[in-house]
Homo-oligomer: A and B are copies of this chain.
Amino acid sequence: MDKDFLKKFVNIKRETKAMINIDPLQAGGKLTDEARQALVEWGDGFSVCDFCPGRLEGIKKPPIYDFVHQALPDFIGADVVHLTHGAREGKFLIMHALAQPNDFIIIDKSAHYTTYVAAERAGLKIKVVENSGYPEFKINVDDYEKAINEIQNEGKGKIALLVLTYPDGNYGNLPDAKKLATISQKYKIPFLLNTAYAVGRMPINMNETGADFIVASGHKSMASSGPIGFVGMKKEWDEVLFKKSQYFAKKEVGILGCVSRGTAIMTLMASFPSVVERIKEWPKQVEKAQWFSRQLEKQGLKQLGEKPHNHDLMFFEAEKLYEISKTHKGGAFFLYKELKKNNIWGIKPGLTKNFKLSTFAANKEELQKVVDVFASLLD
């Protein structure tokens, strides 16, 4: 293999590392210093398995056992927690274990694409509950009951699962999860709450909500390297989802024995005490998000999604920026380029009229700079 070709894979710098980051995907996944240390200490392949008793979640040194069996269930208010490669893998795990091909799941219109794809991989039919459309795009969870009745009355098939995205990744809306739990209980259909953008950012308690399952993401919202996440559940689901192999008594079929046999579990653990602290600051995060929204609205942008807004994920409509892009020499890329020039990262290249962002990682001073750059462009 050509040596010059091979050089391109080595010594690659991440140019955005020190920038103000408002990328919704990245704002909750920036490592703490403690996680960065763990990364180096436990980087070698299979290093967490030094003292493995036969399954990853049973390892007591490093204390993965305590983390998975005590810290995480306590943190999210679930009876049982198991590690996954991420929220999407958690969703597929639940759907594949719970449902038969051609069963239905009912999901919200604002669901992440991986909810669709996980259902597709499990061979399931998808019934979508619409949102309220422009400008708030809210989910009315009563519509799940209508969807249940429609499927059941028409004898279309079994409904295996209700899924609600909390919040959704576009608008950052927080629908009424508790109410959907009562509907799920009334119809005895299990209920999965997708909290990839919630657990690690804001307080969440699965049992208080009344959901059967919860999925979370380490790299999205828990200051962890990826890929890692977990599923939380009511106790009775543990043996359905995590039944042991008929061939190997210690190994769980649904996770192929062990999941996160690498560094990410160590970064997730190392950041955990900081994450426990940071969710206490959630009211301040919401206040900061609302302040930022007001600043951009003062300049003529329009924040879509719930108002007043209750999450750091936000979607903006910016007709004026779109108008500017039509004549700007940077064209559709002018906003991206101007922000980058000002050390701001996270709005996708080519977008001007509609874009999403997160205020989670940036402090108020940094967000003021973002506001100022928008002001200068709109001036």
Query: Which A residues lie at the B interface, using CB under 8 A?
Result: 1, 3, 5-17, 23, 25-26, 28-31, 34-47, 49-50, 62-63, 66-67, 70-71, 74-75, 85-86, 88-89, 92, 96, 113-114, 116-118, 120-121, 126, 218-220, 223-228, 245-248, 251, 253-254, 256-257, 259-264, 266-267, 269-270, 272-273, 276, 345
Instruction: List the number of copies, as a whole number.
Output: 2
Contact B254 A121 (CB under 8 A): yes
Task: Tell me how far the C-beta of A349 lies from the nearest C-beta in chain B, rounded to whole angstroms.
Answer: 8
Contact A245 B8 (CB under 8 A): no
A70 and B1 CA atoms in complex are apart in Å by 11
Task: Tell me how far the C-beta of A225 lies from the nearest C-beta in chain B, rounded to whole angstroms.
Answer: 5
CB-nearest residue of chain B relative to A120? Answer: B253
Contacts of A50 in B (CB 8 A): 14-16, 345
Task: Tell me how far the C-beta of A360 lies from the nearest C-beta in chain B, rounded to whole angstroms.
Answer: 12
Contacts of A34 in B (CB 8 A): 10-11
Task: Tell me how far the C-beta of A197 lies from the nearest C-beta in chain B, rounded to whole angstroms.
Answer: 12
Given contacts A1-B276, A86-B261, A114-B256, contact A26 B45 (CB under 8 A): yes
Contact A40 B41 (CB under 8 A): no
A266 and B264 CA atoms in complex are apart in Å by 13
Contact of A29 among B11, B45, B67 (CB under 8 A): B45
